Amino acid sequence: MKIIETEKAPAAIGPYSQAIITGSLVYTSGQIPIVPETGLLVEGTIKEQTEQVIKNIDALLSAAGSSFANVVKTTCYLKNISDFSTFNSIYAKYFTSKPARSCVEVAKIPKDALVEIEVIAEI
């Protein structure tokens, strides 16, 4: 097992790793729309927040030697399921390999974010 750490993604805000490699898979922790350089949550709509989450995931996948093309499963959490259509339009631009996915509405996401995504990818 190998811990992945990169300054290009937000530091963990708790006792966990940004990502872990085990075997030929990388598991990312859930990413929320925090700008790594400032540690601040992106203000704005589901669109702006999803774009930042995608940037954070890209940084973790790159640090692990993987990419969006290798993602096999995503778990997506939305604060408001009515954002589903807008979220999907952004998600579809990056997850072109169409990995398996779960997407649910949740009552609260850390730092009151609108979206959180975690991924599992092959290396």
Instruction: Say if residue 14's pLDDT is above 90.
Output: no
Catalytic residue among 103, 120, 122, 123: 103
- Confidence (pLDDT) at 13: 80
Q: Is 103 among the catalytic positions?
A: yes
What value does the mean pLDDT take over residues 76-96? 98
121, 92, 105, 113: which is closest to 40 by C-alpha?
A: 113
* Number of domains observed in the structure of the chain: 1
Q: Is 16 exposed, middle or buried (0-12, 13-18, 19+ CB in 10 A)?
A: exposed
The domain in which residue 65 lies consists of 2-122
In this predicted model, what pLDDT tens digit does every residue of 22-80 receive, in sequence order? 999 999 999 999 999 999 999 999 999 999 999 999 999 999 999 999 999 999 999 99
CATH, residue 84:
3.30.1330.40
- Record the tokens describing residue 18, joined without a space: 């940004």
